[in-house]
Amino acid sequence: MAMVVAREWREIPGRYNLEGTKCGCCGRIFFPSRAFCPDCRRESIGKMAPFRLSRKGEVYSFSVVHEASNINRRMMPYTVAFIRNDDGVMLAGQIVDIEPEKVCIGMKVHAVLRKLDEDGNAGIIHYAFKFVPDE
Amino acid sequence: MRDVAVIGVGSTKFGELWGESFRALGIEAGARAMKDANMGGDEIDAIYIGNMSAGRLINQQHIDALIADYTGMAADHVPATRVEAGGASGGVAFRQGVMAVASGMHNCVIVGGAEKMTDMDDVSINDVLNATADAEWEAGMGLTLPSLYAMISRRMISEGIATREEIAACAVNSHFHGAFNQDAQFQKAVSLDTVLRSGPVADPLSVFDCAPISDGASAVILCPLEEAKQHTDSYVKVAATMQASDTLALYQRPTITSFGATAAAAQRAYQAAHISAHDIDVAEIHDDFTVAGVMALQDLALFPKGEAGKAFLEGQTKFDAGRVAVNTSGGLKAKGYPVGAAGVSQIVELTDQLLGRAQGRQVKDAKYGLAQSVGGTGSAVTVTILEAI
Amino acid sequence: METGIISYGAYVPRYRIKPEEIGRIWGVDGKAMGSGLMINQKSVPSPDEDVVTIATVAARDMLDRVPAVDSHKIGAVYVGSESHPYAVKPTATIVAEAIGATPNMTAADLEFACKAGTAGFQICLGLVGSGMVEYGVAIGADTSQGAPGDALEYSAAAGGAAYLFGSEHVIARVNKTLSFTTDTPDFWRREGQTYPVHGGRFTGEPAYFRHVTSAAKMMLDAMGTKPADYTYAIFHQPNGKFPTRVAKQLGFSNEQIACGLLTPEIGNTYSGAVPLGLAHVLDHAKAGDRIFVVSYGSGAGSDAFDLTVTDEMTRFQRDRAPVLDRILSYTVAIDYGTYAKFKGSIALPEE
């Protein structure tokens, strides 16, 4: 039985290494990657370069997810957040290694590689960035 | 471009309708609307149907064909178009219908909105709803749709725009009105305490901050304003219907405590209708989450920033409060939220209000009504203004 | 050409469970088990951690400490473990991608019970020393499984460390490496089985002690040294008792092995054990210190290393990544139920 793997494999540069794009015209940084800059539009075509975003940032907002889902069944409830990274770009991901009650807006965090989910016991394991508190 | 009128409306009950199939619901709503417009069906020359996700929820694509077929319109090869824009599917479908008539392309259009959600388990339904956020970088990373709205709430509270209680009060308002709506899923008022103490979904939002999973359908009939009298004496004018887009992902925006698409669509709508927010007597807003209701009132300029939550809390949004009546149908929270039907059912309620037929919750002298329909986290918004003639 | 360690990084997950708590469930005096093993607690990985994530944290810290090194110049990555997430599909390529080393490089996963990490050290030394690669990365990491109710459950822990080998700006020169290897079936796991099986007391004398002492004596002989010549000694540490005993047998003191002995506080991190012990020593070592390392992997074999810390260590930017003492200070105690949930011992319904 063939498993479809390309979809998540394509996203590895972003998922593992926070690789986004930088506009060659205005210098604005995007995550996830964009083929052209919404500000510079046509001028930016062909001028968007890969850019590795800083793994450091701080919490802009967060929530603790209690709903049953197929991910994180062994880590309920779990914290999700919008993180403003040191490049000034907003990122979205989970915050782990800290009790949900201790998370607060402004808390400094950094991105690490963790297991996101897997395609069942026999399928591919998906890794992606999650955030842990700076200690 | 000619003016458009709504000449007939109809809706099924909303709720967990185990005995009703998708096609049965669509037909029932359509039949009621046709009856309201005193029509037989031959008059219709185009169908628009708003539906978020029948492909996943009931494994049925090609909803356009299903509706055309089961309404009998396929026999005359009437063109049918299915519209999807997340939670705004109904609102966008309505606008497409209005454009079809206004442009002269079609003369008599039926716009339906329908969703059958309870044929799927809860966890999978949540996956479908989460797909209206950014599937790759929000939902795919574990950020559920409720958690996105919860993050909005947290910023609203930390920025002093609304308190937790004020946010929760949106649900109190919806349930207060739902108690008067015999087609509503929940017909019981609830206290603020009940909302605040309900189980957590995505902190700080709880079960009562979130609209339910529902089945249901609504339909409205449109024709040129100048021809409305040929069909019925009970009709209203579509004064404006505007639509706006925004980023797919919530976190890609400069602020998350306001939906720019709502503000843009509202500005365009007020301008086209030659009125201001102050003129709106009754509003149906998209309270799939309580915080969305609070934001809507502000983004629609119905209340100033920082005041919308207070308005809910103090009961200023009730049908008899004398300010702008909000969600007299019960809103998405109490009336129910069969997603694709939402935007169309708002038109049904507003039409009833403007025609003086809103049982038990009639807004006095309602002249202008506003409907706001939202997709995802404000990635698509329609704002429609109806005017009593 | 001087070859050796240019940088290193280490990581241990923060959750801890005590032998008393494990014993409580199985009706055994866990405290006594712990004393017998000289283990006070063991580390437990979070459900979203595995050998890939542990190896990646360690490798990224390793690179953070040498900002002048271009990750694309890494010519080889080897990850040694007995708990690779895939039986087929290497951990090494995922880690290589996550540290920016791909695509002009070679990689493979290694298995040799608890010495798969140091086996990787030897391969990298060979590749660097022969000029085949400029930099090689060898990682030892594990999230080892101890069967519920078995003695190994009290010690099987999680953690790992990554090493960058090269010939420039070497902070710990490898003076020599050699190994003692035989076919000795003291501890094994068949393909498809969840838990390893061990030969009870056979794992002592004929296995651990024979191979560690043989390799150690071979090394002292080859280098013409005595135990007293070394500042630090690191031995494989499946529990606290074995390395303490073998050190004494060979003539090393408790002071010499103290810094490199982490098992009492984190449990047996299998392929991560010696790499972590060495990392803790390197966190504290000074220029001129001499280090004696002997790993052990069941099946069986021991890799011995004689290292000298160089002057380069004074310029090494160790503080660009957290040292082990800091990482080990963040601990969260968990109960057996949480432990079972994290380890996947509780079967969840099919999705």
Q: How many residues does chain C have?
A: 351
Same domain, C211 and C258: yes
Provide the pLDDT for residue C59. Answer: 98
**Entry pTM:** 0.95
Spatial CB neighbours of A35, under 8 Å, sequence gap ≥ 6:
A45, A48
What is the distance in angstroms between the Cα of A104 and the nearest Cα belonging to chain C?
19
Q: Interior CA angle at B268 toward B262 and B272, to 5°?
A: 140
Describe the crossing of helices B122-130 and B145-158 by its angle, rounded to 10 degrees.
60
Residues C112 and C93 in one domain: yes
Same domain, C160 and C20: yes
What's the rounded Cα separation, in Å, for the pair C34 and C30?
Answer: 6
The CATH number of residue C267's host domain is: 3.40.47.10
Q: Examine the domain organization and report whether B311 and B258 are in the same domain.
A: yes
Give the residue on A whose Cα is nearest the Cα of C322. Answer: A135
One domain for residues B92 and B194 = no
Tell me the C-alpha distance between C91 and C136, whole Å: 16
Assigned domain for C351 exists: no
Question: Taking CA atoms, what residue in B is nearest to A68?
Answer: B123
Instruction: Identify the helix (H) or strand (E) that includes residue C187.
Output: strand C187-188
What would be the CATH architecture of the domain defined by A1-11+54-135? Beta Barrel (2.40)
* Other CB atoms within 10 Å distance of the CB of residue B5: 25
What is residue C274's predicted lDDT score, i.e. its pLDDT?
98
Report how many domains make up chain C: 2
Please give the Cα distance from A121 to A110 (Å, whole number). 30
Q: How far is CA C37 from CA A30, B182, C41, C154, C241, in A?
A: 53, 71, 11, 9, 6
| B54 and B96 fall within a common domain | yes
Widest CA span in chain B: 58
- How many domains does chain B fold into? 2
Q: Which of B145, B144, B116 is nearest to B56 (CA)?
A: B116
pLDDT reported for residue C349: 85
Residue in chain B nearest A66 by alpha carbon:
B201
Cα(B86)–Cα(B246) distance, rounded to whole angstroms? 13
Residues whose CB is less than 8 angstroms from the CB of residue C206 and which lie 6 or more positions away in sequence, other chains included: C184, C186
Q: Do B52 and B104 sit in the same domain of this protein?
A: yes
Q: Are residues B314 and B196 in the same domain?
A: yes
- Interface probe with B: pick from A66, A72, A99, most Cβ of B within 10 Å: A66
Under the banding of pLDDT at 50, 70 and 90, the label for residue A1 is low
C349/C19: higher pLDDT = C19
Residue in the structure block whose two tokens are 């442009």? B103
Sequence-distant (≥ 6) Cβ neighbours of residue A10 within 8 angstroms: none
From residue B320, alpha-carbon distances to B172, B335, B360 in Å are 15, 19, 10
Nearest to C143 by CA among C26, C57, C64, C34: C57
pLDDT category of residue A4 using cuts at 50, 70 and 90: confident
For residues B196 and B132, membership in a common domain is answered with: yes
Enter the DSSP assignment of B210.
B
Are C250 and C328 members of one domain? Answer: no
Distances in whole angstroms, Cα of residue C142 to Cα of each of B6, B101, C113, C268, C270: 68, 68, 10, 9, 6
Which of C11, C12, C48 to mutate: most A Cβ within 10 Å? C48
User: In the structure, what pLDDT confidence band is assigned to residue C200 with cuts at 50, 70 and 90?
Assistant: confident
Mean pLDDT of C107-121: 97
User: Which pLDDT value is given to residue C351?
Assistant: 61
Share of chain C above pLDDT 70, in %: 100
Contact in structure between C185 and C26 (CB atoms under 8 Å): no
Q: Which residues contact B271 (CB under 8 A, 6 or more apart)?
A: B240
Q: Which chains reach chain A with 3 or more Cβ–Cβ distances below 8 angstroms?
A: B, C
**C151: buried, middle or exposed (CB in 10 Å: 19+, 13-18, 0-12)?**
middle
Do B139 and B257 reside in the same domain of the chain?
A: yes
Name the stretches of chain B with pLDDT < 50.
none
Q: Do C160 and C246 belong to one domain? A: no
The rounded distance, in Å, linking the Cα atoms of C305 and B47 is 79
Amino acid found at B58: I
Residues C185 and C216 in one domain: yes
Whether C27 and C112 share a structural domain: yes
Check whether residue C155 and residue C192 sit in a common domain.
no
Q: Is C315 strand, coil or helix? A: helix
| B24 and B162 together in one domain | no
Q: Do C153 and C256 lie in a common domain?
A: no
The span from the CA of C261 to the CA of C270, in Å, is: 13
Query: Who among B136, B152, B201 is closest to A67 (CB)?
Result: B201
* Whole-Å CA distances, B209 to A73, B197, C293: 24, 11, 60
Domain contains C144: yes
Nearest CA-CA partner of B369 in B237, B201, B186, B234? B237
Does A2 have pLDDT greater than 80?
no
CATH of the domain at B187: 3.40.47.10
Which residues from C are below 8 Å from A when comparing CB atoms? 14, 46-50, 52-53, 56-57, 85-86, 94, 97-98, 100, 322, 326, 330, 341-342, 344, 348, 351
Angle at alpha carbon of residue B312, lines to B310 and B317, rounded to 5°: 120
Instruction: Give CA–CA dist A4/A56, Å, rounded.
Output: 33
Q: Answer whether B79's CB lies under 8 Å from B46's CB.
A: yes
Which residue in the set A66, A94, A128 is minimally distant from B201, CB to CB? Answer: A66
Cβ distance B208 to B194 under 8 Å? yes
> In angstroms, rounded to a whole number, what is the distance separating the alpha carbons of residues C102 and C121?
20
Q: Which chains touch B (3 or more CB pairs under 8 A)?
A: A
Query: Does C84 reside within a domain?
Result: yes
Q: Where are the domains of chain A?
A: 1-11+54-135, 19-52
Residues in a beta bridge with B40: none
CA angle in degrees (0–180, nearest 5) for C269-C272-C273: 65
Question: What is the C-alpha to C-alpha distance for residues C332 and B50, in angstroms, rounded to an integer?
Answer: 51
Q: Is residue C348 part of a domain?
A: no
- Give the dihedral sign, CA B299/B300/B306/B311: negative
β C290-294/C232-235 pair status: parallel
Yes or no, beta carbons of B126 and A71 under 8 Å apart: no
Q: What is the DSSP letter of C205?
A: I
CB B132 within 8 A of CB B115: no
What proportions of chain A, in percent to the nearest 5, are helix, strand and coil? 15, 40, 45
- pLDDT for C1 equals 76
Per residue in B172-231, pLDDT (tens digit) is: 999 999 999 999 999 999 999 999 999 999 999 999 999 999 999 999 999 999 999 999
Do B253 and B338 reside in the same domain of the chain? yes
Q: Are residues B197 and B132 in the same domain?
A: yes
- Strand residues in C53-153 grouped as ranges (E): 74-80, 106-110, 135-143
Structure token digits, residue C100: 């920016």
* Among candidates C49, C50, C98 on the partner chain, residue whose Cβ is nearest the Cβ of A16: C98
B129 vs C134: CA distance, rounded Å: 51
C33 and C166 belong to one structural domain = yes
**Mean predicted confidence (pLDDT) in A7-31:** 96
> How far is it, in rounded angstroms, from Cα C173 to Cα C310?
7
Which residue blocks in chain B are alpha helix, DSSP H? 22-36, 54-57, 63-70, 89-102, 122-130, 145-158, 164-178, 192-197, 260-273, 290-299, 308-313, 339-354
Average of pLDDT values for C250-271? Answer: 98
**Distance of alpha carbon C70 from alpha carbon B202, whole angstroms:** 42
Min distance C25 CA to chain A CA atoms (Å):
20
Query: B113 pairs with which residues across the strands?
Result: B50, B218
Residue C350 placed within a domain? no
CB contact under 8 Å between B200 and A116, yes or no, is no
Domain encompassing residue B274: 122-210+239-388
Residues C237 and C159 in one domain: no
Q: Same structural domain for residues C247 and C293?
A: yes
- Put simply, the answer to whether C53 touches A16 (Cβ < 8 Å) is no
List the domain range (segments joined by +) for residue C281.
172-313
Token pair of C233, please?
A: 């000694």
Q: Dihedral sign for Cα C331, C337, C338, C344, please.
A: positive
Identify the DSSP state of C313. Answer: G
Q: What is the ipTM of this complex?
A: 0.96
Residues of C labelled catalytic: 82, 114, 236
